[in-house]
């Protein structure tokens, strides 16, 4: 089985951070979004990955090669972003006849990967939502099989949203249906969508079962990213690296603080993730994500997202600032 992870999107809702960093490499709970996905699949014995890259794709390649040298990794460029269906079609020659596990690059979910892989059927991950109109939606028959999937329906017939997890056994069938979309120019919201290809497979006789995820962590915009950061820190406990220098400071768990950080006269936590080599002095930080190589002095921050190589001095408020930024309120 091969894993396919599309990470070509520009991440517009997370700007300014995604001007300099792909969304998949945004830090959360001491790791990157991408690492949560890769580690979860690798722990279930998947060792071959196909990354579909585009915007800032060279940073994805560099990160993966440096972090996962023991894995077999392929990189496919999606130069024109024409939808998830178009992205998956680009992997055809690498996939061959193997089964695939597709995980969208901003999807962190809590589920039993090994159980899904072991199923005799193709599987789609779902989660009950209050308003399914912004998601792909799955309709189930009386036997528990998926009878229909549709992308962002205006009048949903189900409240079961597709969460971006797809285990597909009949890959030849998938690529036939993707080819059908292109030949007939079938698009949803102007794009060739994977959901439409899956529905084509179902109409042609493919059997899909659903599996419900326990948690679905939304990393798509600042507010939900911070909520997901807090939930993941609570779940996994966080970690303060042994090299952190702390002087007259208080750490309120759960927090994650990277190597080489310096804390002086600071209160950190709860629910704070700090990257490597960051210095925080005379400050109070809670419910926030702070990047690497950043300096914070005399600040009180709550529900803030601070990029890497940033410098903030003298303020008390909620911030959302990107990399290489300097702010002095003194």
- 201 lies in the same domain as 266: no
The proportion of the chain whose per-residue pLDDT surpasses 90, expressed as a percent, equals: 57
HSE (side-chain half, CA atoms, 13 Å) at 23? 25
- 187 lies in the same domain as 115: yes
Q: Is the pLDDT reported for residue 326 higher than 60?
A: no
- 281 lies in the same domain as 311: yes
Q: Greatest CA span in the chain, whole angstroms? A: 67
Between 8 and 323, name the one with better pLDDT: 8
- 218 lies in the same domain as 243: no
CATH number, position 284: 2.160.10.10
In a domain, 230, yes or no: no
- 315 lies in the same domain as 186: no
Q: What is the pLDDT of residues 173-225, one digit of tens each?
A: 999 999 999 988 888 888 899 999 999 999 999 999 999 898 888 777 788 88
* Number of independent structural domains in the chain: 2
Q: Is the pLDDT reported for residue 71 higher than 90?
A: yes
Boundary (domain end) residue, out of 222, 255, 280: 222
Boundary (domain end) residue, out of 222, 255, 270: 222
- 98 lies in the same domain as 244: no
Boundary (domain end) residue, out of 162, 196, 222: 222
Please, what is the angle between helix 194-203 and helix 171-184, to 10°? Answer: 110
Contact assessment for residue 162 and residue 103, using Cβ atoms and an 8 Å cutoff: no
In a domain, 243, yes or no: yes
Rounded Cα gap, residues 195 and 192, in angstroms? 9
CATH number, position 75: 3.90.550.10
Q: Which domain holds residue 272?
A: 238-328
- 285 lies in the same domain as 177: no
- 170 lies in the same domain as 262: no
- 188 lies in the same domain as 44: yes
For the chain, report the end-to-end CA distance as a whole number of angstroms.
56
């Amino acid at each position: 089985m091969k894993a396919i992870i599309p990470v070509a999107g520009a991440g517009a809702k997370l700007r300014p951070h995604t001007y300099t960093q792909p969304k998949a490499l945004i830090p959360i709970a001491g790791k990157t979004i991408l690492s949560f996905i890769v580690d979860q699949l690798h722990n279930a014995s998947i060792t071959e990955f196909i990354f579909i890259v585009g915007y800032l794709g060279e940073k994805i390649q560099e990160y993966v090669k440096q972090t996962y040298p023991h894995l077999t990794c392929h990189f496919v460029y999606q130069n024109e972003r024409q939808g998830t269906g178009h992205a998956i079609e680009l992997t055809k020659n690498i996939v061959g006849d193997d089964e695939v596990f597709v995980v969208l690059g901003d999807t962190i979910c809590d589920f039993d990967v090994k159980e899904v892989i072991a199923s005799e059927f193709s599987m789609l991950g779902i989660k009950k939502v209050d308003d399914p109109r912004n998601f792909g939606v799955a309709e189930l028959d009386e036997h528990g099989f998926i009878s229909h999937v549709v992308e962002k329906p205006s009048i949903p017939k189900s409240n079961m949203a597709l969460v971006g997890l797809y285990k597909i056994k009949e890959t030849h069938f998938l690529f036939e249906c993707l080819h059908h979309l292109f030949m007939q120019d079938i698009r949803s919201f102007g794009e060739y969508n994977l959901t439409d290809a899956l529905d084509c497979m179902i109409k042609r006789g493919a059997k899909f079962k659903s599996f419900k995820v326990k948690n679905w962590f939304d990393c798509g915009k600042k507010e939900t990213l911070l909520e997901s950061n807090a939930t993941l820190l609570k779940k996994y406990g966080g970690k303060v690296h042994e090299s952190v220098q702390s002087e007259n400071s208080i750490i309120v768990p759960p927090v994650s603080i990277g190597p080489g950080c310096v804390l002086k006269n600071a209160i950190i936590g709860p629910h704070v993730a700090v990257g490597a080599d960051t210095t925080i002095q005379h400050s109070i930080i809670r419910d926030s994500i702070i990047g690497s190589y950043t300096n914070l002095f005399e600040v009180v921050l709550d529900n803030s997202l601070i990029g890497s190589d940033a410098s903030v001095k003298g303020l008390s408020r909620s911030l959302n600032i990107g990399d290489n930024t300097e702010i002095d309120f003194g």
